[in-house]
Amino acid sequence: MKPKSILPLPAALALVVAFIAGGCRSAGAPNPPVVSGTATGLCGVPLMLVATATDPQGDMVAYRFDWGDGQTSGWSGYTASGTADSLAHPWDSANTYAVRAQAADHEGHTSPWSGAFTVVIDTLPSQSYPDSVVDSVATGSEPFGPCLLPNGQYLYVPCRELDSVMVIRTSDNQVVKTVFAGEYPCFAAASPDGNRVYVSSSGGNTVSVVRTSDNGVETTIDVSGPSVGLAMLPNGEYVYVAHTDSNTVSVIRTSDNTVVAEVVVGSGPSCVAPLPNSQWVYVSCHSSNEVWVIRTSDNTAVKTIRMPDYPEGIGATPDGKHVYVACGYADSVAVISTETDSVVGEIHIPGHPGGLGVLPNGSYVYVSSYEGDLVSVIRTGDNAVVGTIPIAGAPEYYAFQPGSSQAYVTCRVGDKVMVIAPSH
C-alpha cells in the first residue's frame, strides 16, 4: 500500500469533533462504506481489507477501520468518491472479528460506521496443512477450475466434456445438481455474497451466470471469444475473463452483467488472479512467457513481467504482497513481488506444474504437476517445499475451505475431485 497523506488540520479537528459526538452522520457526509477483502487468516499475519464509499456531493473521501479487536486505524489519504482504498491489519488472537469502516470528506463530515465484515483468525500451527487425501468425488468428464461458495457449503466444478457444472455439497461430498453452463466450461468464480457463480466457456463466446438459490442459469453474457481463466474481484464489482485465442481479457460489470472493457495482453492468456485490494489483476500468458498487470481503476495494462517457460496457474497471497505462478515447461513456480512487479524467487517443482492455489490463510501454496500425478506444498514463509501428495489422474486446479481446513483439487484425467485434509 502506498504511503498516505495526512489530513489537513481543519479537517482533522472536525473529525475529532465528529468522533467525540459519536461518529453520527452529518449533513453532506459520505455514505457508509462497503468493506470487502480476505475473510480468513492466521494470528499475527496482516490481512488487507478494502473500503469503498461514495459522497453525495462528489467530494473526495478518506477511510478508517475499526478492526473489531479494540484497535482503530488512522485515516487514509483522500481518494475520489466511489474509489476503493485498503489497509492491512494483524490480529493477535484466534477469534471471529467484526470489522467496520467509516468514511469522511475533506470538510470533516463523517459517515456512519459500515455494517460488519466478519474476519476469522485461526491458530493453525505452522506445520499443519491439508496433506492427506480423505475422499474422492466422481464428476463429469474433464473437471477443471472449481470454486467454493464463501460459506464453504457447496463446491462448483466445471466439467468440460460434459458441458456442465457439478454442484457438490461439502458436508457429505455428494453431487446434488448438474447445471448446463455453456460449451466446455472451464473456470468458476463465486460472488462475495454467494448468490451467483460465473462460469467461463472454452468452447463458446459466453460466460454463464448461475443463480445459487436454485442452481438455474440466470443469464449468459456474450464475450469476445472462447474463454479460459476467470476471476472475480474480491469486492465483487467486476469479473475478469481471459481469452487465449484473441489475447484479450474481458471485464464484466456484475451489477448489470455488461462487458465494459477489453484489455489487450500478451499471447495466450490463461489464468487470472486479482489482488485482495481489488486494484490490480495479474494475468498469466503462457505463449509469450509473461504475466501482465492490469490496473482495475481504468482497466489499463500497466506492466509486463518476464516469466520462466509456460506460466499458467496463478494466485495471490492474502496480504497482497506476492503472486505465485506455476511455470510448466520450466518445472518451477515463480514468485512475484507486487511492490516491484518483478520475480524475486523461483522454486523447483518437477512434473510440469500447471494448476496452483493459495491457502486462504496465506501460509501455503498448492501446486499440481499434471505429468507427475503429484501435488507439491510450498510454505510461503520461506518458499520451501514442505510436502508432496501423490494424486493419480492429472491433478489440476484448487478450491479451499474458508478456514483453510480442506483443499479440493480437480483431476482432469481421473474425472474426479480429491478432498485433502490435515493428517494431524
Identify the CATH number of the domain in which residue 189 sits: 2.130.10.10
Given CA atoms 182, 151, 38, 79 in this order, what sign does their dihedral have? Answer: positive
**67-79 residues labelled b (16+ CB within 10 A) or e (exposed):** bbbeeebebbebb
Task: Count how many residues are written for the chain.
Answer: 424
- 157 with 80, same domain: the answer is no
Is residue 359 a part of any domain in this protein? no
**Helices and strands, number each (H, E), in the chain:** 1, 35
Identify the CATH number of the domain in which residue 55 sits: 2.60.40.10
pLDDT bin (cut points 50, 70, 90) of residue 161 is very high
Which of 84-88, 142-146, 180-184 has the least mean pLDDT? 84-88
Domain stops at, among 300, 324, 353: 353
Whether 189 shows a pLDDT value over 80: the answer reads yes
Whether 352 shows a pLDDT value over 60: the answer reads yes
Is residue 37 a part of any domain in this protein? yes
Q: What residue type is assigned to position 412 of the chain?
A: R
Q: Are 82 and 54 in contact (CB under 8 A)?
A: yes
Whether 6 shows a pLDDT value over 50: the answer reads no
Q: Are 84 and 110 in contact (CB under 8 A)?
A: no
What's the chain's average pLDDT? 91
Q: Would you state the pLDDT for residue 125?
A: 53
- 204 with 145, same domain: the answer is yes
Instruction: Using alpha carbons, select from 336, 314, 382 the residue that is nearest to residue 127.
Output: 382
- 154 with 64, same domain: the answer is no
Q: What residue type is assigned to position 352 of the chain?
A: H
Which of 176-180, 319-323, 369-373 has the least mean pLDDT? 369-373
- 114 with 145, same domain: the answer is no
Q: Are 180 and 164 in contact (CB under 8 A)?
A: yes
State the Cα–Cα distance between residues 323 and 329, nearest whole angstrom: 19
Instruction: Using alpha carbons, select from 253, 248, 256, 288 the residue that is nearest to residue 272.
Output: 248
Q: Can you point out the beta strands (E) in 300-382?
A: 300-306, 311-316, 322-327, 332-337, 342-348, 353-358, 364-369, 374-379
What domain range includes position 280? 141-353
Per-residue pLDDT, averaged over 204-230, amounts to 95
Whether 279 shows a pLDDT value over 50: the answer reads yes
Whether 5 shows a pLDDT value over 60: the answer reads no
Is residue 413 a part of any domain in this protein? no
- 91 with 155, same domain: the answer is no
- 118 with 145, same domain: the answer is no
Is residue 254 a part of any domain in this protein? yes
Q: What is the pTM of this model?
A: 0.79
pLDDT bin (cut points 50, 70, 90) of residue 140 is confident
Parallel, antiparallel, or unpaired for β 174-180 and 164-169? Answer: antiparallel
Number of domains in the chain: 2
Q: Would you state the pLDDT for residue 212?
A: 97
- What pLDDT, in 10s, does the model give residues 364-392? 999 999 888 999 999 999 999 999 999 99
- 243 with 307, same domain: the answer is yes
- 29 with 170, same domain: the answer is no
Domain stops at, among 321, 353, 385: 353
Q: Would you state the pLDDT for residue 285?
A: 98
State the Cα–Cα distance between residues 345 and 190, nearest whole angstrom: 31
Is residue 402 a part of any domain in this protein? no
Is residue 363 a part of any domain in this protein? no
- What pLDDT, in 10s, does the model give residues 12-65? 444 444 444 444 556 689 999 999 988 888 787 778 899 999 999 999 999 999
State the Cα–Cα distance between residues 337 and 70, nearest whole angstrom: 32
Is residue 240 a part of any domain in this protein? yes
Is residue 370 a part of any domain in this protein? no
State the Cα–Cα distance between residues 275 and 319, nearest whole angstrom: 9
- 69 with 181, same domain: the answer is no
Domain stops at, among 329, 353, 377: 353
- 284 with 196, same domain: the answer is yes
- 339 with 217, same domain: the answer is yes
- What pLDDT, in 10s, does the model give residues 101-118? 999 998 889 999 999 999
- 114 with 152, same domain: the answer is no
